[in-house]
Amino acid sequence: MDALVTTEWLAGELGASDLRIVDATYVDAALGRDVAADYEAAHIPGAVFLNLGELRDTDNPLPMMLPSAEKFASRMQSLGLGDGSRIVLYDDSPWHTAARAWWMLRTFGAHDVAILDGGLAKWRAEGRETASGKETLRHRHFTVWADHKGVRTLDQMKANLASGDEQVVDARSAARFTGEEPDPRPATHAGHIPGSKNLPYTGLFNPDGTWKRGDALATAFAQAGVDLDRPIALTCGSGITASTLAFGLHLLGKDAALYDGSWSEWGADRSTPKAMGAKETVDG
């Protein structure tokens, strides 16, 4: 199974005994959407609802930190996602949150995982079948194996300021990156990690919501000043849209680490330096 699958491919695979389809839609409550209700109203037949808003470390004050391996495995098992499953993720979110689910699954040891290109919007635009209500779930064993080599902590990101070993690429909008637009979180500084590059996650998608591929995708990174042959650490607001950059790099055959705390941690920490503007002015 390719990492990025088409609606046509998925339609042909519906009902396969080893296929598990997952709705990984997540949006902030401020947008006024109830994504669980949206799922029950219409989803791809057989799909289960992941609920990324709850699949996190709820003891951590930061918004979207990785849960424990045990919590992750328990949730996967309850959704019927287990060993031997081919997992296809999709979303109906402006933030393309299937990529966050993909990154989490990879971090916790699942490797036969794909994203549906164009998500639910493309599926529905093509007039394909949807189901309503909840699916009947069958508990399956999920062998969890946490691999945190692709996860970066605050201390590691601070150390990287001095070493410069990894390029830091920020997936937020240009206005959030430069500090022109204030951060929406209380007591969080505007700006970005000094020395980081800005590639808004929207730059990885075509106008119809499908992923850029090949040269077009590589060009998006190149235009942001990213050297694909050097190590990369990714950041954003809370670790969600940075996951789209991680998936985009995966499509290009590259691995990248992700700073899970992202700006919600760095921007609120009084001890971290913050840069403002396209030409950096560093505070702290």
Sorted by where each begins, the domain ranges of the chain are 4-146, 149-283
**Residue 268: what pLDDT?**
94
Q: How large a percentage of the chain has pLDDT more than 70?
A: 99
The reported pLDDT for the residue numbered 147 is: 86
- How many angstroms separate the CA atoms of 68 and 74, rounded? 10
Over residues 12-29, the pLDDT tens digits come to: 999 999 999 999 999 987
pLDDT at res. 42:
98
Catalytic residue among 22, 236, 240, 246: 236
* Beta-bridge partner residues of 253: none
* DSSP tag of 203: G
What is the arithmetic mean of pLDDT over 264-269?
Answer: 95
Overall fold of domain 149-283: Oxidized Rhodanese; domain 1 (3.40.250)
List Cβ neighbours of 29 (8 Å cut-off, separation of 6 or more). Answer: none
Contact 39, 124 (CB under 8 A): no
Q: 81-91, pLDDT tens digit by residue?
A: 989 999 999 99
φ and ψ of 203, to 5 deg: -70, -5
Q: In what helix (H) or strand (E) does residue 257 lie, and over which residues does it extend?
A: strand 257-259
Q: Check residue 187 and give its pLDDT.
A: 84
What's the mean pLDDT when you consider all of the chain? Answer: 95
Residue 45, both tokens: 């037949």
Res. 284: pLDDT tops 70: no
Q: Which two tokens stand for residue 73?
A: 């495995």
pTM over 0.75: yes
Neighbours of 174 (CB within 10 A): 13
106 in catalytic set: no
Q: Which pLDDT tens digit goes with each residue over 147-176?
A: 899 999 999 999 999 999 999 999 999 999
Q: 181-190 — which CB contacts under 8 Å span 24+ positions?
A: 183/237, 183/263, 183/267, 185/237, 185/264, 185/267, 185/268, 187/268, 188/263, 188/264, 188/267, 188/268, 189/267, 189/268, 189/274, 189/283, 190/267, 190/274, 190/276
In the prediction, which pLDDT does 6 show? 98
Amino acid making up residue 121: A
For residue 187, what are its two tokens? Answer: 């007591």
CATH number of 4-146, picked from 3.40.250.10, 3.60.15.10, 3.30.70.260, 3.40.920.10: 3.40.250.10
Nearest alpha-carbon partner for 190 in 174, 178, 203: 178
CA atoms of 247 and 225, how far apart (whole Å): 18
Cross-strand partners of 91: none
What is the amino acid identity at position 50? Answer: L
- Predicted confidence (pLDDT) per residue in 26-37, tens digit: 998 777 899 999
Same fold for the pair 4-146 and 149-283: yes
Q: Report CA-CA distances (Å) from 169 to 47, 233, 244.
A: 33, 6, 12
Beta bridge partners of 235: 170
Record the tokens describing residue 80, joined without a space: 């019927």
User: How far apart, in whole angstroms, are the C-alpha atoms of residue 220 and residue 233?
Assistant: 16
